[in-house]
């Protein structure tokens, strides 16, 4: 089990990996307990994450992947029964292993979320607030939220997409806002079956996703390797793509108005994304003190 941490400049109780309950306080950015080995320096963790983002062996580095990791670990939340969300993220086995070894007291769930926060900031995006307090669960216990099929899928109908965001507690505007994360990274045929980036500069957080949606003439296409249906355009000679769910945003007048709003006002998407993504990261996490002063990186 991971360590539950609540509060900034406050006192609460945690269970450390040796199953001993200890008092914990958060002062000046460091979590301190009665034992020196139960201290987490989140600024140091953030610096370690930042160092992992550039990677010449990965097409766009790890920044977009870290954002997706954080988003996907949170987007299983249901406001109906308060299940899912980033509380209880399962243990990863790849890129973050060394950080977990260096900072063994941070939960994987907090580490996932912190990766997304740091990556967005490092790629020129807003400083999304971060508060710790998530705990880990056994991967086998994820079956409940996995069976519920809560995460929005690229081929969902418009109605299904809206319903899944409503289940998380988001309206149409916040749904559009959160999809700006697609300005980062790309799809790979060996992962999702889709192929290509959404924007020309997939390692920089901008409002380009919304501009591309309304400015290009998107044509239906089929990915040869997988048979997946997507939409493609070649505005500057290089292929860009959109998923079927992306096109719902411009085909529906009730969401297109927000696409146009953000396409014409980058500061507005920065402000709204900070709020909406910050909410997403804290869904289903009872161990977080919402009154605590959050970290920003």
pLDDT tens string 72-94: 877 554 444 444 444 444 333 47
Q: Token pair for residue 200?
A: 């020309």
Residue 8 near residue 292 (C-beta atoms within 8 A): yes
Per-residue model confidence (pLDDT) at position 152 = 83
pLDDT tens across 87-129, in order?
A: 444 333 478 889 999 999 999 889 999 999 999 999 999 999 9
Residue 61 near residue 256 (C-beta atoms within 8 A): no
Q: Which residues of 208-236 are buried (b: 16+ CB within 10 A; e: fewer)?
A: bbbbbbeeeebeebebeeeebebbbbeee
- The total of other beta-carbon atoms located within 10 Å of residue 35's CB is 12
Q: Which domains does the chain have, with CATH numbers?
A: 11-150+278-282 (1.10.520.10), 169-275 (1.10.420.10)
Residues forming a β-bridge with 26: 31
Residue 65 near residue 49 (C-beta atoms within 8 A): no
pLDDT at 250 over 60: yes
Please name the residue that has the structure tokens 């002062």. 27
pLDDT tens across 24-67, in order?
A: 333 444 434 333 446 899 999 999 999 999 998 888 999 999 99
Please name the residue that has the structure tokens 């929005």. 152
Per-residue model confidence (pLDDT) at position 115 = 95
pLDDT at 206 over 90: yes
Per-residue model confidence (pLDDT) at position 57 = 87
Predicted TM-score of the model (pTM):
0.80
Give the neighbor-by-neighbor strand order of the sheet with 240-242.
219-222, 229-233, 240-242
Confidence grade of residue 16 (pLDDT, cut at 50, 70, 90): very low
pLDDT at 7 over 50: no
Residue 13 near residue 23 (C-beta atoms within 8 A): yes
Do strands 186-187 and 40-41 pair parallel, antiparallel, or not at all (unpaired)? unpaired
SS3 label, residue 240: strand
- Residues acting as catalytic residues: 72, 198
């Amino acid at each position: 089990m991971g360590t539950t941490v609540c509060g900034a400049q406050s006192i609460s109780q945690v269970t450390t990996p040796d199953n001993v309950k200890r008092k914990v306080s958060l002062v000046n950015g460091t979590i301190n307990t009665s034992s020196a080995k139960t201290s987490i320096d989140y600024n140091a963790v953030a610096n370690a994450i930042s160092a992992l983002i550039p990677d010449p062996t990965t097409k766009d580095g790890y920044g977009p992947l870290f954002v997706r990791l954080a988003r996907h670990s949170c987007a299983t939340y249901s406001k109906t029964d308060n299940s899912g969300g980033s509380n209880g993220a399962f243990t990863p086995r790849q890129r973050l292993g060394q950080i977990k070894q260096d900072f063994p007291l941070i939960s994987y769930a907090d580490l996932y979320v912190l990766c997304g926060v740091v990556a967005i900031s490092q790629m020129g995006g807003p400083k999304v607030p971060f508060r710790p307090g998530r705990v880990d669960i056994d991967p086998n216990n994820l079956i409940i939220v996995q069976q519920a099929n809560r995460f929005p899928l690229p081929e969902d109908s418009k109605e299904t997409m809206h319903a899944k965001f409503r289940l998380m507690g988001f309206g149409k505007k916040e749904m559009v806002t959160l999809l700006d994360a697609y300005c980062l990274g790309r799809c790979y045929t060996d992962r999702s079956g889709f192929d290509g980036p959404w924007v020309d500069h997939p390692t920089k957080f901008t409002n380009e996703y919304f501009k591309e949606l309304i400015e290009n003439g998107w044509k239906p296409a089929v990915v040869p390797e997988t048979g997946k249906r997507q939409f493609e355009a070649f505005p500057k000679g290089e292929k860009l793509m959109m998923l079927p769910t992306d096109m719902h945003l411009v085909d529906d007048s009730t969401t297109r108005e927000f696409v146009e709003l953000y396409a014409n006002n980058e500061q507005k998407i920065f402000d709204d994304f900070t709020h909406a993504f910050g909410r997403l990261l804290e869904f289903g996490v009872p161990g977080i003190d919402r009154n605590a002063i959050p970290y920003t990186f």
